[in-house]
Structure 1
Amino acid sequence: MSRIDESKKFIPVRIAVLTVSDTRSLDEDRSGQTLVDRIEKAGHSVADRRIIQDERAEIAKQLRAWIADPEIDVVISTGGTGLTGRDVTVEAHRDVYEKEIEAFGTVFTIVSMEKIGTSAVQSRATGGVAGGTYLFALPGSPGACKDAWDAILEKQFDYRHRPCNFVEIMPRLDEHLRRK
């Protein structure tokens, strides 16, 4: 089972947090703040934080800007993953993914089922990679952000986590871009 290898040194990553909402301000952004608090508590840094409206093109534009920023390793968005007409975060993420991490949504659903039962079926949480940057789209509730971070992302962004983690393969995420 998974474990932390204390003989390895912790490697912090730089994470941008994007809240997708038509109504929230930074002061009212409990989900984004939940992520910021957990990211910092885990020893990582918050490289940037923004709130953007539920507009597919604008979300994708912000994701691309952060993908192009060498000071950002990971982007985590919250909000806009549901089923309503305004929920376009998943589509915006998929517009920029080079590779989707299909198992992320599956594992998130399993974690959610333990907390909210069959209501977990309404989430379209997703993860992917583009330009050497990890991208994750989480639901807009603080509880969902806690669950995703505590059960999945905190472990995967800890270089010491065994048997494997996202950090150890980061240098190879964009190797196809360097090939001649």
Structure 2
Amino acid sequence: MNAVEEHRLTSPQQVSCFVVTVSDTRTVDTDESGPLMRTMLEQSGYHVVDYRIVQDDYELIRELIHEASSNPEVHALLLSGGTGISSRDCTYEAVSSLLDKELTGFGEIFRLLSYEEIGPAAILSRAIGGTVGRTAVFSMPGSRNAVRLAMDKILLPELRHVVRELNKQP
């Protein structure tokens, strides 16, 4: 057994997640990405402690990140939406401004996998991941396909391991 397999075996089984949809137009009735994330997490044995929709506003997103990262019940904050390049898209800026440690591999791998599905349009994605204190923070595009890709190929298999590493004692 290699070290990664060993780490996964000793990772916490109970991981609590806060799910956020960033959008100026979505409501609880029209949001598809947030409920998809919630369903995928719950079907994989994760616990969803909260779900919200927040406007694509720099300060509102930062406040939500502060709230989630200061709550000891939240191990991971997962955001969808607001990662593009339009004038209103500011999720990347809000997340990156607060990260203690960036997990550059998340965005890199997401764009590689996305490229395999949609081609060069993948460069428009500003998916980002990292840590704020002992909370893992991952931000992905808001389309159902992007959420499914990030969840299936990256987050569901690896999130417990990320939380394990964040909670290791020195």
Q: TM-score, normalised by structure 2?
A: 0.91
Deviations 1:71-113 (A, max 9, x none): 1000000000000000000001012111111111100011101
Task: Kindly provide the amino acid, as one letter, of the partner of residue 64 in structure 1.
Answer: H
Aligned-pair CA distance for 1:136? 0.6
Instruction: Tell me the equivalent position of 1:101.
Output: 103
Change in 2 beyond 3 A, CA 1:7/1:75? closer
The count of residues paired between Structure 1 and Structure 2 equals 168
Q: Which of 89, 92, 95 is 1:90 aligned to?
A: 92
Q: 1:3 to 1:133 in 2, by over 3 A?
A: closer
Alignment of 1:166 onto 2:162: yes
Matched, 1:71 2:67: no
* Alignment pair present for 1:121 and 2:123: yes
Aligned match of 1:15 in 14, 17, 24?
17
Query: Residue in 1 aligned with 2:133?
Result: 131
- The CA distance in 2 between the partners of 1:112 and 1:12, in whole Å, is 29
The partner residue of 2:60 within 54, 58, 61 is: 58
The answer to whether the Cα contact below 8 Å between 2:11 and 2:164 also exists between their aligned partners in 1 is: no
Give me the identity figure in percent: 35
Residue 26 of structure 1 aligns to which amino acid in structure 2? Answer: V
TM-score, normalised relative to structure 1: 0.86
Q: Structure 1, residues 16-62: CA drift from partner, whole Å, max 9, x if none?
A: 01100011101211011110010001000101111010110010001
Query: How far apart are 1:170 and its partner, in Å?
Result: 2.3
Local SS of the residue matching 1:157: helix
Distance in 1 (CA, whole Å) between partners of 2:90 and 2:33 is 18
The runs of 4+ residues in structure 1 deviating greater than 4 Å are 1-10
In the TM superposition, residue 12 of structure 1 has moved relative to its aligned partner by 2.1
Structure 1: segments with no counterpart, 5+ residues = 159-164, 176-180
Matched, 1:37 2:33: no
Contact 2:23 2:54 in 1 (8 A): yes
Q: Residue 29 of structure 2: SS of its match in structure 1?
A: helix
Alpha-carbon distance in 2 for matches of 1:14, 1:89? 22
Q: What is the CA RMSD across the aligned residues, in angstroms? A: 2.1
- Following superposition, the deviation at residue 3 of structure 1 comes to 8.4
In 1: Cα distance, 2:79 partner to 2:12 partner: 24
Amino acid at match of 2:96: R
Instruction: Tell me: CA distance 1:9–1:104, structure 2 relative to 1, closer, same or farther (3 Å).
Output: closer
Q: Which letter maps to 1:31?
A: S
| Distance in 1, Cα, partners of 2:51 & 2:5 | 29
